[in-house]
Amino acid sequence: MIRKQAPFSSILLLVSILASGLSGCSLLPEQIDVTEDWSANRFYFEAHEAMTSGGYEKAIEYFEKLQARFPYDKHAMQAQIETIYAYYKWDESASAIAAADRFIKQHPRHPSVDYVYYMRGLVNYDEGRTMLSDIALTDPATRDPKAMREAFHYFSKLVTRFPQSKYSEDARKRMLFTRNKLAEHELHVAKFYMDREAYVAASKRANYVIENFQKTPVVRDALLLLVDIYHKMGMEDLAADTERVYAANYPE
């Protein structure tokens, strides 16, 4: 027996009834914003509570909502600064750097801008130290020590612009470590080229260390390496000159 199809109008009526029924009740529960009635003080307090317990993601959320809802409140500016630290602790270095750069650009004379310079350097410092820590495990020539260079740059700005800042002493110590690490990186690259008999490239790197990282411990090794390189290249006069430089600086 052939069944008759339902009239098209009946199908439309059924769809309409179902739609009206569904519109009256949501299939998913509505999400309630518990912060809807919070004051700026409440946001600031809760963000600090979150950071104290290690909830940096939640702290960032509260700091950002504070800035969005109360842009002219006294806590909004401080929230910008503390967001940088929260991003740093949450291992979101790119976001921390972006937040620091934005603050420095918008508030170059803020009383706490020295701290922002310090944090800007510290984020790069930790990132660069991690990258260069296992330098012997991979080709050092492929590693770009950009983070370490930027760390030195921002620490240097802090020390130059705010020599009396309470962060400057630590920045000076980190600058010394950073400079030594950059010199070590260049020496590793020079040795890498030397091992592969790329003597011209090796000599350029060794000379770069000697010229740009004076008074660092690796200059001594760079001079010795350069002597060896010149011998390998048959440049005995340059080898002898370098030996004299070495003897004058390290008479022992």
Tens-digit pLDDT profile for residues 53-80:
999 999 999 999 999 999 999 999 999 9
Q: Is the pLDDT of residue 27 over 50?
A: no
CA distance from start to end of the chain: 112
CATH of the domain at 100: 1.25.40.10
Whether residue 75 is contained in a domain is answered as: yes
Write down the mean pLDDT value for the chain: 88
Q: Does the structure show a pLDDT above 90 at 138?
A: no
- Residue 92, SS3 per DSSP: coil
- Vertex 203 angle, CA 197 and 209, to 5°: 130
Cα–Cα distance, 86 to 54 (Å, whole number): 9
The verdict on residue 68 lying in a domain is yes
pLDDT band, very low/low/confident/very high, at 128 (cuts 50, 70, 90): confident
The answer to whether 206 and 190 are in contact (CB under 8 A) is: yes
Would residue 46 count as lying in a domain? yes
Alpha helix (H) residue ranges in the chain: 8-23, 40-52, 56-69, 74-89, 93-106, 113-132, 146-161, 168-195, 199-212, 218-233, 236-249
Looking at residue 87, its pLDDT comes to 98
Q: Is residue 88 situated within a structural domain?
A: yes
- The tens digit of pLDDT for each residue in 184-218 reads 999 999 999 999 999 999 999 999 999 999 999 99
Q: Let me know: does 119 contact 89? Beta carbons within 8 Å.
A: no
Supply the pLDDT for residue 33.
79
Structural domain boundaries enclosing 44: 39-107
Q: Which residues contact 66 (CB under 8 A, 6 or more apart)?
A: 40, 43, 44, 47, 73, 75, 76, 79
> Region 43-56: what's the mean pLDDT?
95
More confident residue, 130 or 213: 213
Task: Please state, for a pLDDT cut of 90, what percent of the chain lies above it.
Answer: 77
Instruction: Write down the pLDDT at residue 16.
Output: 53
- Confidence tier at 153 by pLDDT (50, 70, 90): very high
Within-domain flag for 100: yes
Kindly state whether residue 54 falls inside one of the protein's structural domains: yes
What's the pLDDT tens digit per position in 209-222? Answer: 999 999 999 999 99
Domain contains 102: yes
Supply the pTM of this predicted model. Answer: 0.80
**CA–CA dist 35, 42 (Å, integer):** 9
The answer as to whether 207 is a domain residue is no
Residue that the structure tokens 């740009």 belong to: 212
Contact 218, 196 (CB under 8 A): no
pLDDT of residue 4 exceeding 80: no
Domain count, the chain: 1
